[in-house]
Structure 1
Amino acid sequence: MDDALSAEAEMVHARPGRLREFWFYFRENRGAVIGLWIFAVFAFLALFGPWIAPHDATQQFRAATLQPPVWQDGGTWSHILGTDPLGRDMLSRLIVGARYSFFVGIVVVSIAASGGIIVGLISGFAPKWLDSIIMRIMDIILAFPSLLLALVLVAILGPSLTNAMIAIAIVLQPHYVRLTRASVLSERQKDYVTSARVVGAGTLRLMVVTVLPNCLAPIIVQAALSFSTAILDAAALGFLGMGAQPPTPEWGTMLAEAREFILRAWWVVTFPGLAILVTVLAINLMGDGLRDALDPKLKRS
């Protein structure tokens, strides 16, 4: 008996911590690791962009309008990625623009996830009639194309970055509601919930303390993917003139300002588009890695 207990104790001590175990499974996905590094670079630029950028993002160099990048004839080292139609430095605007895109992602995911989790928990524990009402409302929201619904909401609230974030959060919220509800309904049938109810745990404690922590894995993955969706939708609204307004160096707004110069100055459209593409791709790769690391069914024994 003592040998068995000693062996069991050794296995417990040998078992890696949760963070170490998560990293072990996450790093098996090479694309996710690459996405994490790219995401870290853009996050660093978002945090320290105003101090890293070589010029002020709104400063206009009138003598250097539509100047090409340094490697093209006519380019100079003072504007490595060239300038836009108003003579503003492209590199500086891209770096500062990362801050706006990440700010949009953080705010949208925070609002959508917090609201969706609360409503999803209520729906999972609510009587059948209330659950049906909540889910039918979510179905109505999901029936509309997400970008179209966001456009309608921004048109009602007024064009601005703040209103665009509110609209995108409302559009993304049903995904969290449905995901949380499905996880809650699955967890409610398990023995540990029944045991907690038997010992006298109230409904609020069951929802927040007992069930919610075991529903977080799919929600975290959804949050990562929603982050990229929020950046894309914000860029789309900015491109359509319904999001961030000039002279804000937001990537979608930069594309909108430069579209008429696409044939004359390729860099004013290419670099903001690449920034959106690379950021969204990196976040999606990270989401795949998070799914592999957090979903026990996908873990290799």
Structure 2
Amino acid sequence: MSNIEHTPDSHARPGRLGEFWFYFRENRGAVIGLWIFAVFAFLAFFGPWVAPHDATEQFRSATLQPPVWQEGGSWTHILGTDPLGRDMLSRLIVGARYSFFVGVVVVSIAATGGIIIGLIAGVSPKWLDSIIMRIMDIVLAFPSLLLALVLVAILGPSLTNAMIAIAIVLQPHYVRLTRASVLSERQKDYVTSARVAGSGVVRLMFVTVLPNCLAPIIVQAALSFSTAILDAAALGFLGMGAQPPTPEWGTMLAEAREFILRAWWVVTFPGIAILVTVLAINLMGDGLRDALDPKLKRS
């Protein structure tokens, strides 16, 4: 048996997934964000079973009870209770499910519609491309939260309508990103070869070009996930998103705003939950960008 010397470079690129993880883990903030996001996802799936109490159960004898470490606190309600005596920890845990659901649904709708429209714009004649992009410019000209608020006001206040409105607001970003990627890719040799080989327009768009445009779209999806959570919380705070007694973080803030001075915990903990989750997703998005963008990879 001959001794084979393995150099560090011999296992540097074991495959696409290994290469992705190799570059992703170099960004320590992204790895931390990934772990926090994993905890967030776990609570979203198993929150009702992990929570110590029912999120809507009212303990009338313990309204506005402070956290356990403050005088008057109790281990029964570790993070205290809200004005109706509902356990804050349980509501925060179950609220992760609604925020995660909002992020998944909004990104799915916005990305799917945006990618299809962007592909059409990228391969269409100039006049159709111009019409599509001018419509997207009009949507982008409005402040995103204001436009979402108007759409929810038209559709009616609810979590479902809030998700639809946020998806419409975020869609132009995917359209512009996809179109730019298609315009960059369609002049390359492999696209010309596929066209010469007889590939139809649909196959050319979805099979040939789209897979090579996914890297920036994935990064945008991660950042849109955090934007969707923020916008849903903002709409909930304004009373146009999830309606009480739904334990959505923005709605919890809205319900507690008149108790800011009397009971700091009813506002602080939902705010921290939103802050930590959005920050973790943004850090993870930076790591995805570093791992998927060839220009940022070190040779």
The interval holding the TM-score normalised by the smaller chain is: over 0.9
Q: Distance in 1 between matches of 2:263 and 2:56?
A: 19
Out of 47, 59, 80, the residue aligned to residue 78 of structure 2 is: 80
The partner residue of 2:134 within 133, 136, 141 is: 136
Match of 2:217 in 1: 219
Deviation at 1:149, TM superposition (A): 0.0
Question: Which residue pairs with 1:5 in the alignment?
Answer: none
| Identity of matched residues, % | 92
Q: How far apart in 2 are the matches of 1:12 and 1:38? A: 32
1:284 paired with 2:278, answer: no
Q: Which residue matches 2:54?
A: 56
Per-residue deviation, 1:80: 0.1
Q: How far apart are the structure 2 equivalents of 1:57 and 1:75?
A: 19
Alignment of 1:1-301 (within 5 A): 15-301=13-299
Given the superposition, is the C-alpha separation of residues 13 and 269 from structure 1 closer, same or farther in structure 2, using an over 3 Å criterion? closer
Q: Report runs of 4+ in structure 1 exceeding 3 Å deviation.
A: 11-15
Residue 8 of structure 1 is matched in structure 2 by none
Is the 2:40–2:96 Cα contact (8 Å) retained in structure 1? Answer: yes
What is the TM-score of this pair, normalised by structure 2? 0.96
2: distance between equivalents of 1:26 and 1:220? 14
* Structure 2 letter corresponding to 1:80: I
CA distance in 1, matches of 2:153, 2:139: 17
Give the drift of 1:16. 1.2
Q: What secondary structure does 2:48 align onto? A: helix
CA distance in 2, matches of 1:271, 1:183: 41
Paired with 2:56 and 2:211, the residues of 1 have a C-alpha distance of: 45
CA distance in 2, matches of 1:199, 1:85: 68
**Per-residue deviation, 1:12:** 9.5
2 CA distance for matches of 1:103 and 1:264? 32
Q: Distance in 2 between matches of 1:152 and 1:29?
A: 39
Structure 1 residue 150, shift from structure 2 partner: 0.2
| Separation of aligned partners in 1, 2:42 and 2:202 | 39
1:15 CA drift (Å): 3.9
Give the deviation of 1:188 after TM superposition. 0.4
TM-score by length of structure 1 reads 0.96
Q: Give the counterpart letter for 1:22 in structure 2.
A: F
Structure 2 gap segments, 5+ residues each: 1-8
Check conservation: 2:55, 2:91, Cα contact below 8 A: yes
SS in 1 for 2:26: coil
CA shift at 1:14, angstroms?
Answer: 7.4
Q: 1:241 to 1:126 in 2, by over 3 A?
A: same
Partner-residue secondary structure (3-state), 2:173: helix
Structure-1 separation of matches of 2:13 and 2:224: 33
Contact kept, 8 Å, 2:30 with 2:287, in 1: the verdict is: yes
CA distance in 1, matches of 2:128, 2:203: 20
Relative to structure 1, the CA distance from residue 271 to residue 14 in structure 2 (aligned partners, 3 Å threshold; closer, same or farther) is closer
> 2:115 & 2:222 partners in 1: Cα distance?
15
Count of residues in Structure 1 that have an aligned counterpart in Structure 2: 291
Distance in 1, matches of 2:36 and 2:199, equals 44
